[in-house]
């Protein structure tokens, strides 16, 4: 028996080894990866699973599926102030995943491995009679003691969010209900913007050092802004409020919401944003915003923490909005 | 929104948090785990995926499924000389996984978390329209520089294996073809032994320190002894031979092979053994065998490495046996 004899060996040699140049991967030729943690750092580890038909569409471009699986994990690292170290990929492939599909999948993954400096360090590829199922375990590093937790928010601090919120959730809705009233007035570039935000999450890794310097608490917005901020407040043991009109919307999302105000609920609770929600001391805001802007990342103050429990979402007049479900649960 | 409000929060609180007492898990309340690698250690990381109907039977006892998913990863750690640090579990649950199923699954997992000192540090639970799919990422530690690679074997060293080989593969065959000739003479306890070895892998973690001290190269036997030893030799850049009659068989496996000699091929190539195959300098054999025996783990010399390439499997007369497929590929 020689290396490359079995189907799995050939698969690894062709598709995975080119993404596994890091010495910790041991060329994907051993039972495990061997990681010498960089001195003075803590490791941050996150693991997300994605299932075709649940977390993405089976007919999404294969490269986009691969990138989403990696990026949703990198988004978790970013929120914790971490720099990517490497990732492990478990891939359960249905029979439909033919050579062309695999090539496109690993092309997409390879582009991200290079772009984010996140080599593949190991994993497992198996066949499944069911839908394509992926799990990525991403490892990152933070300088020792600088992990940004969910638990550090204190009353009287500012709640901020990066980028714009709701685009991905509206992009999903647009795909499901393209003829829906709220979308009719959108021009082609606006539709494209929403669709692209759903298909291609953009983890905010550039914000990681700023979060380490300034944030009391942070998380990424993956299950919906309202529910995710509520979770952060619970973890921190304080209450808070956000004003819906202060939540940053893209031009496309704003146009959809203007046409059909109910879509604001989708934007605020739909998830898949992969933006950063963070809580900062008010005094840190100017420096944080300036440095973020210098990186080309807009950040907006959307509310404040307070003594108490729970999150209130207020409209522009200061009246509370009700959300039956604050975040989307895939479970 | 409060902790415990969503289905996923309740699921975590009830089933997962009790297994996640390690501080690195952050109570499963954050986006990621935070690991301060113990000083002077390297991290060993492995990730295996298992799909119902491919790697186990959907109607296997739920606790055994959970344990198999963890243990096949712990077996990789053992082969590398590592001590378990913790594990991440991604679980894609079909609708059939009801409360009783989940309770049994997590009872089984909890027993192993305690028995192996391997807390759950994080992961993800999602629903799937397909078969139950699990992925475990296991982290272990080795004293810095003491990772036991696949690549260290040199010509003229002994090839050893722990325990007995072929029980699990025969246990699977017994389940698939209970009336097969080779199994007819087996008594109930022998059938039970084979079935149990398939259902309940026993990772050889106790051997890890001995492998660090004595082994030049090691791997766990998961895909079949012949193919796995061949892989180790390729990785090490040498050749070797094993004598089939020196491969240790249990009384049950020996009885089945005596009744139907073709089953030897199943035993040697079927996999799921989760024993350790290692290559040691001949001079280290006595101390290694004595220390293993003191731990209650039998080890057998089954062959030798040599200059060259490829693995020869010899019968008792020294004639080569042919194996079309040296190891089972789930892929």
Q: Is the pLDDT of residue A327 over 70?
A: no
Q: Across the interface, do B129 and A309 touch by the CB < 8 Å criterion?
A: no
Q: How far is B180 from chain A (nearest CA, A)?
A: 27
Q: Residue B101, CB half-sphere, CA atoms under 13 Å: how many?
A: 11
Per CATH, domain B158-321 is 3.20.20.10: no
Q: What is the mean pLDDT of residues B169-187?
A: 96
Q: Is the pLDDT of residue A1 over 50?
A: no
* Inter-chain contacts counted by CB atoms under 8 A, chains A and B: 250
Structural contact between residues B169 and B176, judged by C-beta atoms closer than 8 angstroms: no
Q: Across the interface, do A80 and B7 touch by the CB < 8 Å criterion?
A: no
Structural contact between residues A52 and A131, judged by C-beta atoms closer than 8 angstroms: yes
Cα–Cα distance measured from residue B151 to residue A271, given in angstroms and rounded to the nearest whole number? 46
pLDDT cut 70: percent of chain A above it: 96
Q: Is the pLDDT of residue A193 over 50?
A: yes
Cα–Cα distance measured from residue B115 to residue B106, given in angstroms and rounded to the nearest whole number? 14
How many other CB atoms sit within 10 Å of the CB of residue B25? 23
Q: With beta carbons under 8 A apart, name residues in chain A contacting B8.
A: 329-331
**For A1, which of B88, B128, B326 is closest by C-beta distance?**
B326
Q: Is the pLDDT of residue B1 over 50?
A: no
Domain boundaries, chain A: 7-143, 158-321
ipTM of the complex: 0.94
Mean pLDDT of chain B: 94
DSSP B12: I
The pLDDT value given to residue A4? 45
The pLDDT value given to residue B5? 61
- The pairing of strands A217-221 and A275-280 is antiparallel
B97 interfaces chain A, CB cutoff of 8 Å: no
Q: Across the interface, do A150 and B124 touch by the CB < 8 Å criterion?
A: no
B330 interfaces chain A, CB cutoff of 8 Å: yes
Q: What is the mean pLDDT of residues A282-290?
A: 98
The pLDDT value given to residue A328? 52
Name the band, by pLDDT with cuts 50, 70 and 90, for residue A8.
Answer: confident
Q: Is the pLDDT of residue A5 over 80?
A: no
Q: What CATH number labels A7-143?
A: 3.30.1330.10
Residue in B closest to A35 by C-alpha: B43
Q: With beta carbons under 8 A apart, name residues in chain A contacting B45.
A: 32-33, 35, 88, 121-122, 137, 139
Q: How far is B218 from chain A (nearest CA, A)?
A: 9
Q: What pLDDT, in 10s, does the model give residues B85-123?
A: 999 999 999 999 999 999 999 999 999 999 999 999 999
Name the band, by pLDDT with cuts 50, 70 and 90, for residue A323.
Answer: confident
Q: Across the interface, do B150 and A220 touch by the CB < 8 Å criterion?
A: no
Is B274 annotated as a binding-site member?
Answer: no
Q: Across the interface, do A137 and B88 touch by the CB < 8 Å criterion?
A: yes
Q: What pLDDT, in 10s, does the model give residues B17-51?
A: 999 999 999 999 999 999 998 999 999 999 999 99
Q: How far is B18 from chain A (nearest CA, A)?
A: 18
Q: Is the pLDDT of residue B4 over 60?
A: no
Q: What pLDDT, in 10s, does the model give residues B219-262?
A: 999 999 999 999 999 999 999 999 999 999 999 999 999 999 99
The pLDDT value given to residue B324? 62
B137 interfaces chain A, CB cutoff of 8 Å: yes
Q: What is the mean pLDDT of residues A102-108?
A: 98
Q: Across the interface, do A6 and B234 touch by the CB < 8 Å criterion?
A: no
The pLDDT value given to residue B176? 95
The pLDDT value given to residue A322? 82
Query: HEC profile for chain A?
Result: CCCCCCHHHHHHHHHHHHHCCCHHHHHHCCCCEEECCCCCEEEEEEEEEEEECCCECCCCCHHHHHHHHHHHHHHHHHHCCCEEEEEEEEEEECCCCCHHHHHHHHHHHHHHHHHHCCCEEEEEEEECCCCCEEEEEEEEEEECCCCCCCCCCCCCCEEEEECCCCHHHHHHHHHHCCCCHHHHCCCHHHHHHHHHHHHCCCCCHHHHHHHHHHCCEEEEECCCHHHHHHHHHHHHCCEEEEEHHHCCCCHHHHHHHHHCCCHHHHHHHCCCCCEEEEEECHHHHHHHHHHHHHCCCCEEEEEEEECCCCEEEECCCCCEECCCCCCCCCC
Q: How far is B39 from chain A (nearest CA, A)?
A: 9
């Amino acid at each position: 028996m020689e290396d490359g004899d079995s189907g799995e060996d050939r698969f690894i040699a062709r598709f995975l080894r080119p993404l596994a140049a890091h010495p910790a991967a041991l060329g994907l030729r051993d039972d495990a990866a061997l990681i010498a943690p960089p001195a003075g750092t803590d490791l941050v580890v996150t693991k997300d699973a994605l299932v075709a038909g649940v977390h993405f569409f089976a007919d999404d471009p294969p490269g986009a599926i691969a990138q989403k699986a990696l990026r949703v994990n990198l988004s978790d690292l970013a929120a914790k102030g971490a720099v990517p170290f490497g990732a492990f990929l478990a891939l359960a492939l249905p029979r439909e995943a033919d050579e062309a599909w695999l090539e496109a999948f690993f092309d997409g993954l390879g582009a991200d491995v290079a772009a984010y400096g996140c080599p593949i360090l190991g994993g497992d590829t198996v066949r499944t009679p069911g839908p394509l199922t992926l799990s990525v375990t991403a490892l990152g590093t933070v300088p020792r003691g600088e992990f940004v937790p969910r638990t550090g928010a204190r009353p009287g601090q500012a709640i901020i969010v990066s980028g714009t919120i709701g685009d991905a959730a509206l992009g999903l809705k647009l795909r499901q209900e393209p003829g829906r009233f709220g979308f009719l007035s959108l021009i082609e570039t606006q539709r494209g913007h929403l669709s692209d935000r759903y298909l291609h999450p953009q983890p905010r890794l550039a914000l990681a050092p700023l979060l380490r310097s300034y944030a009391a608490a942070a998380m990424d917005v993956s299950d919906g802004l309202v529910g995710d901020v509520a979770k952060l407040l619970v973890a921190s043991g304080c209450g808070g409020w956000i004003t819906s009109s202060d939540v940053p919307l893209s031009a496309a999302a704003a146009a959809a919401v203007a046409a059909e105000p109910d879509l604001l609920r989708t934007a605020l609770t739909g998830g898949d944003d992969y933006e950063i929600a963070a809580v900062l001391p008010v005094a840190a805001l100017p420096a944080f915003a300036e440095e973020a802007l210098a990186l080309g990342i807009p950040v907006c103050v959307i509310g404040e923490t307070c003594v108490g429990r729970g999150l209130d979402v207020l409209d522009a007049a200061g009246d509370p909005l009700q959300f039956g479900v604050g975040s989307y649960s895939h479970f």
